[in-house]
Structure 1
Amino acid sequence: MGNPLPRLHLRNLFFVALGLVHLAAFVSLAAQVPVLIGSRGLLPAAPWLEALRDRVGFADLPTVFWVDASDRTLQTAAGIGVALSLGLVWGVAPRLILALLWALYLSFVSVGQVFFAFQWDQLLLETTLLALFVAPGRVDQRGNPPALPAVFLMQWLLVRLHVESGLAKLLSGDPSWRDFTAMVTYYETAPLPTWVGWYAHQLPAWCHRLSAFATLIIEIVVPWGIWGPRWMRRASVGALAMLQVLILATANYGFFNYLTLALCLWGLDDGDLAALARKLRVAPTVRARTAAKASHTPRWRALALWVSVAVWVPLSLVPFFHFIPPLRGTLQEWRSRLEPFRSVNAYHLFASMTYVRNEAVIEGSSDGHTWSAYEFHYKPGAVTRAPGFVAPHQPRVDFQMWFLLLRGRAPRDRYFQNLLARMLTSPDAVRPLFVRDPFDGRPPKWLRVQVYRYRFTDDAVRRTTGAWWQRELLASLGPVSADDFAGAFPRD
């Protein structure tokens, strides 16, 4: 299991990568806190916590914002997260900073409601928590490579992330993964696709089938290779990294792919970094310096770490086995205890595919006759606007709206109803969500929601019209006015 060569430099590189991922997460979060969970946001945190105060406790909803969830506190906490992330990049007290980052990000995820219900938010929390095991506890331990059991925990997370996601595809009941047609519509229906995804969509059917088959092989079979000989480890990490780069190129999933690439480092060791350094003609003495720092983990600490492994490995499988009906009742109590901390998770990315793309386009009017569309920054809207790159930033409202019409054509999600209410009563509160305000800061008298079926154009249409999308109107909902939302929010 694993190679005995130390991973001192690899650990330091991983902390830089993890710090950069946290930096991206907190900078993205800081820019969106007011419109997401601020006092004038779509799902204000303070009144939500107050309504829950008598029914749940810290163990059910672990967040520091029980003390105060004012706008100033939320913004200050996001700023602290940015500073801590930079501290991790610079290598300042990594174990302490990791603990603080975990607690702070968990606090935001706990109050973020649907805006923070993504698997990569949970993956960041679990990664940060497990990174505590490989972090040096004291200054005089910084020259010691991480112990093998601690390294195994990071490798286990990397393997589990991929294998669980691959198995979930086969166990979900979605026939598209079993007949290898899942990728036929994937690029077109990804929540926030890129223009590269448009080109990938044009590939022939055999290529889509091959990529679906390759995805399953890479996720289910390849990860186990990180515990093989050196050539196998390198090949496995290369395949896993290639998958993430291809996903990055065709769609935007916030910091997820960057975090997964950081985890892929644990399939390597300092010897691999030294070989790479020689190829790049930099730091040629990495291997020698690392070899001189052989690990001398005290027996009591090694034993404690192996006990942690013995506990964590079966514990980490509880959420996944929860999806298997015969085991669901047995594991429910364990799952309910672990779930609030979002640090022992099941990963089932893309387990069920979406075959059509329905989008909600919000239009406003001052007279009920002439309608103007509100253009979001990142989600599909105008058919001539090319899908762009935005990751590692995650525009959480744009992303969340992808789910809006999955269950039908009548969007009833609370955040969306609140968005319409804000647009009609205090449009400045949600102005950052849109490319421009067609009413120049004045609230429209009416809003309606146009439901469209979006499809990628083909090459001939795009060359002729310049359009990346074609769309078909499915339904027109509304109109609604401010009177329909009377009392939705306290008066500003």
Structure 2
Amino acid sequence: MQENGGGGQRGGEKEGAEDERVAIQGRKDCRSHAASLLLRLVGFSYLVAFTSVFLQAPGLYADLADRGGDQELSAGVLVEAEARKPWDVSFFHDHVWNVLLSLFLVCWVLYQSIFLVGQTFLSFQWDIFLLEVGGLVLLFAPLTSYGSRRGPTQLSALCLHFCLFKIMLMSGVVKVQARCPTWMGLTALHYHYASQCIPTPLSWFAHQLPNFIQKLSVVGTFIIEIPAAFLILLPFRQARVWAAWLNIFLMVCIMLTGNYTFFNLLTATVCLSLLDDASFSWRWKKRTRRDKRPSRTPSKGLQNTTSVLHSEQFLKSLHELEGREWSLRSCTKSFMEVAFTEEEMDQWIETSLFWCIPMFFAHFLGQAVREAAQVYTTSRSILRRCWRFGNLMIVFVFGSMYLFASLEPLSSIAPATRKLFLPFVPSLSSRAQAWRLTSGYGLFRRMTGVGQKTQVLPNSGGKAIPVVARPELELQGSDDGTNWKPLEFKFKPAGLLLGSASWLARHFLGDAPAATRLAALGSYQYNPWLLVLIYRLLEGSDATRSLLATELWPKEWSAGSPPRAIRIIKFEYDFVRQEQAKSGKW
């Protein structure tokens, strides 16, 4: 009887230990599915980026390597040895396996190298954002395989939260600080769909929306990018979930109506760091009751204290400034208008950041203490405890460096936050920005394509607004100097070719068309690559011809004989209005 009782006692202890391990395992696994999806989508973004470079490289770099303005590569860059090789297609064939790689460190180093060489064609904000997110994913991804039952540390997720907060807040604030009349007048979307770098077929339909929907869309953009961005920093799960879905919704809308390659997908991917598996209960329902129990660690009180302070100060700031700065006045003539000024916006941002940044840093420190306590209480062996604690220290040190380095670009929209700088922040930030580990952003700072003439549109509320004047460059070739025929880029929606390219091509192969669209905003002196492009086309370079839609060329040019003369003409375009399309008068 005693032996059986002892066996039953040992069996009960064994079951209790198994239950404890299941509970700990459940807490570890509460973010594993969402984190795994995030890592796979970041890997897909790398796939898109490498594929885009590989397919366009022969025309962009092999013959345009001497386009002028090349910067000297600094020592220690991986690509330095490769840059000394001749610029030919074999260089990119050597790196074709990058398309298949899933090693984030290798992908980050190689894309950093290509970015330093790419310059004009890889200087877009989506390239910079990929490098910043790719650096943070090195902390977020587990050292072992994705199938590991332990998800990423919350510390690494907090770094991604701050990255998302920075890009969304800066993108919204610069629209106000730039004093663009279209943003402050809530008419920016009257021009955006037609004047963006590469529209999609859905852009035309969005351009036809009534005036009040266009203005409401601008208001929604302001709300999501500025006040709702602070929800990302709050320690409350429900606030983060709302912030995630709002930003994902905005990114999907932008993706459907414009081509920004992988930028919107990558931004929506970072939003997944705000979610856990409970946010996808319709997809992953494997949760136990113990998953919902909070872990009891010595630092739980410290974390709760910093969370409450963070939330109270933030909500107090919003409450004091909400009525004065975020109201919209109704107007019978213009439907609605902004009721705050640029100066009031600057004051609100500086006050909010002055409270939120220290509280977020305190929350980060409290989370580090909590996770250190979890490592100590849940690791049974000394070796395992040292291994996990070492990993945590790596994330804490590099994560802290990232947060401090990100203060410098964030201070560009709120100079008062420089008072929070420690002495080492400027030098640390300059080094981090040199490697694109942190950057500043300013998407759609000013709306382009605003014409000089005005007209009253049927859905503009009876108010005269400037017409859309999208600047566009068109290459034209001729053999006699009299008859000129267009030389269009592949995947570029210009003229009557808006629907000629496939959806995938438009969204993943937009470097050359986007560079041409941006060149239309300046002069050729600041875009020497255009002169090199024309020179190579006149020479009959096959690599450069691969960038153009040669299937639309005359037979003699398609056969290999280049045109004798090439010129660049600047046009101003607008979408056909629905009323004009029906009447045929356009």
Using the size of structure 1 for normalisation, the TM-score is 0.80
Q: Deviations over 1:439-458 (max 9, x none)?
A: 22211111122211101111
Say whether the 8 Å CA contact 2:405–2:432 is kept in structure 1.
no
1:89-168 mapped onto 2 (5 Å cutoff): 97-138=103-144, 142-168=148-174
- Amino acid of the residue matched to residue 402 of structure 2? W
Match of 1:247 in 2: 254
Is residue 375 from structure 1 mapped to residue 488 from structure 2 by the alignment? yes
Local SS of the residue matching 1:433: coil
Name the residue aligned to 1:43.
65
Change (3 A) 1:138 1:316: same
Deviation at 1:62, TM superposition (A): 6.8
CA contact (8 A) 1:10 1:269 kept: yes
* Distance change in 2, residues 1:322/1:338 (3 Å): farther
- RMSD (CA atoms): 3.2
CA deviation vs aligned residue, 1:115-160 (integer Å, no higher than 9, x gap): 0001110111111111111222245992212112111111111221
Partner in structure 1 of residue 440 of structure 2 = 346
Tell me the residue number matched to 1:422: 536
Cα distance in 2, alignment partners of residues 6 and 464 from structure 1: 58
The equivalent residue for 2:545 is 431
* CA 435–72 in structure 1, closer or farther in 2 if over 3 Å, else same: closer
- Structure 1 CA distance for aligned equivalents of residues 220 and 36 of structure 2: 32
Structure 1 pair 238–322 and aligned structure 2 pair: CA distance change class (3 A) = closer
1:320 and 2:378 matched: no
1:115–1:400 Cα contact (<8 Å) kept:
yes
**8 A Cα contact 1:215 1:243, kept in partner:** yes
**In the TM superposition, what is the alpha-carbon distance from 1:304 to its structure 2 partner?**
4.6
Q: Cα gap change, 1:431/1:284 in structure 2, threshold over 3 Å: closer, same or farther?
A: same
The alpha-carbon deviation at position 428 of structure 1 amounts to 2.1
* 1-structure distance, mates of 2:497, 2:174: 36
**Secondary structure in 2 aligned to 1:7?**
helix
- Please say if 1:359 is aligned against 2:472: yes
Which residue among 188, 213, 216 is the counterpart of 1:210?
216
Give the corresponding residue for 1:403: 518
Pick aligned residue for 2:572 from 444, 448, 453: 453
> What amino acid maps onto 1:407 in structure 2?
G
SS, match of residue 80 in structure 1: helix
Partner residue, 2:196: 190
* SS at 2:474 equivalent: strand
Tell me the TM-score normalised to structure 2 length: 0.68
Of residues 140-149 and 159-168 in structure 1, the stretch that sits farther from structure 2 once superposed is 140-149
Match of 2:55 in 1: 31
For 1:140 and 1:260, how far apart are their aligned partners in 2?
21
Separation of aligned partners in 1, 2:480 and 2:397: 69
Distance 1:449 1:350 in 2: 26
State the alpha-carbon separation in 2 of the partners of residues 267 and 424 from structure 1.
Answer: 52
Conserved 8 A contact 2:170-2:413: no
What is the identity percentage for the equivalent residue pairs of Structure 1 and Structure 2? 27
Equivalent in the alignment of 2:184: 178
Of stretches 105-114 and 67-76 in structure 1, the one that deviates more from structure 2 is 67-76
**Contact 1:270–1:290 at 8 Å: present in 2 too?**
no
1:308 aligns with 2:391: no
Partner of 2:91: 74
Q: Say which one has the larger Rg.
A: 2
Q: Which moved more, 1:160-169 or 1:65-74?
A: 65-74
1:451 aligned counterpart, secondary structure: strand
Residue 463 (structure 1) shift: 3.6
Q: Give the CA deviation at 1:223.
A: 2.9
2:206 and 2:113 map into 1 onto residues whose CA distance is: 38
Identify unmatched segments of 5+ residues in structure 2.
1-26, 296-370, 376-387, 451-468
The CA deviation at 1:60 is: 8.2
Q: Which amino acid aligns with 2:473?
A: A
Q: Secondary structure at the match of 2:508?
A: coil
C-alpha change, 1:57 and 1:204, in structure 2 (3 Å) is same
**Structure 1 portions without partners, runs of 5+:** 89-96, 278-282, 471-492
CA distance in 1, matches of 2:127, 2:99: 16
How far 1:80 sits from its partner (Å)? Answer: 2.4
